[in-house]
Amino acid sequence: MASPSEEPPLAEDGWCEPPLDTNQEQSEPPMSKNKLKKLLRDQKWEEGREKRREIRRIKAKAKKERKRAVGDNNTLIDPTSEKRKASTEPDIPASKKPRPAKSVLLPISIVIDCDFDDLMLDGERTSLASQVTRSYSENNKASFKSHLFVSSFGGHLKQRFDTVLAGHHHSWTGVKFLESDFEAAADQAAEVMKTDRRGRLAGAFEKTRDKQVTSTSGEVVYLTSDSPETLTELKPYSTYIIGGIVDKNRHKGICYKRAMDRGIKTAKLPIGDYMKMTSRFVLATNHVVEIMLRWLEVGEWAKAFMEAIPQRKGGVLKALNQPSETKTQEQETDSGAVEQEQEDEGAALNNNAHMLSVSDHAAEAPGYHEGQQP
């Protein structure tokens, strides 16, 4: 046996491996092949960010030039066309052009509870980040919008927003990201709805103007499909909590248990009362937010479901005049099957399209369940 001071023997090619650091091996386990591949893929994606941005810029410029060329050709072929007439009219000053209707803020709050970071895989966190982004976009462009909070914002989810999504959420308006949990977020929402920034009673809340509705008449409700209670309407000055977890049904009933342990009221959306599905029903977090926003606009669950639930789900409205016994049986069949969804990532936001340019990196995994999947 060679003494510690002797040189390690050379291999036939004249090269010898350096001595192993046993302490380093114990403290840093070797990286798996899958994790190494993912790390290299992420690095390659980041390195190509500027190139992708330049490609998008070139494509946008080419698209504008094509539209301009088509317009010029139409003008030459048909000088008397409406386009020609429009082109000869004096330009309307930008200040006098009709502006899109401004969103009306209502005294109601939605909290996305993201305190499940340790229970999700990397792909599921990517999906949740996309769903939070889309939820913000839907609320921001809705005709009647709510106060929006993202609670327990930290860990890998926050890291993704700060790095891959380039920290664009810092410029978002009408939403608050909080490190505290959903109860603290609900308390903060209640305080906001007591101030002049609470919003006004409009949209579906218009009918409550004549009633004695005050900032103290609201409630806090955790939406979960495991709840025995069914939500009949959204109430002014109330806060509704949605469980922000993507877990492919591994953690059943976690949101319901979480709410019950805190003494928070629970309820489920009345999907089974209005919709009949040809297959197993699934929803994403942003779909539930969109359903609530549509209800704030039209005040009817049936319309809200039909407008917000993707057509590919195959959902149809139930006959409202069916016998109560049959309706009850269908409710038992349909109302408890809410899970997560596999959803395409990369849709452009109306005024935040640049925020989703990086979301093409990964396909979105299953998303929202009504607070928690069954």
Provide the annotated active-site residues: 247
The stretches of the chain forming alpha helices (DSSP H) are 22-27, 33-47, 49-77, 82-88, 122-141, 155-162, 182-192, 254-262, 271-274, 285-298, 301-308, 324-334
Distance from C-alpha of 360 to C-alpha of 92, rounded to nearest angstrom:
38
| 338, 366 Cβ separation under 8 angstroms | no
Do 241 and 220 touch, CB atoms closer than 8 A?
yes
Helix 301-308 vs helix 285-298: angle between axes, to the nearest 10 degrees? 140
- DSSP class of residue 164 equals T
Q: Smallest Cα–Cα separation from 183: which of 136, 222, 218?
A: 222
DSSP tag of 283: -
Element at 104 (helix H, strand E): strand 104-113
Pairing of strands 239-243, 104-113: parallel
Instruction: Phi first, then psi: give them for residue 146, nearest 5 degrees.
Output: -115, 170
**Residue at 272: amino acid letter:** G
Long-range contacts of 163-168 (CB under 8 A, 24+ apart): 164/358, 164/361, 165/129, 165/133, 165/355, 165/358, 165/359, 166/355, 166/358, 168/352, 168/354, 168/355
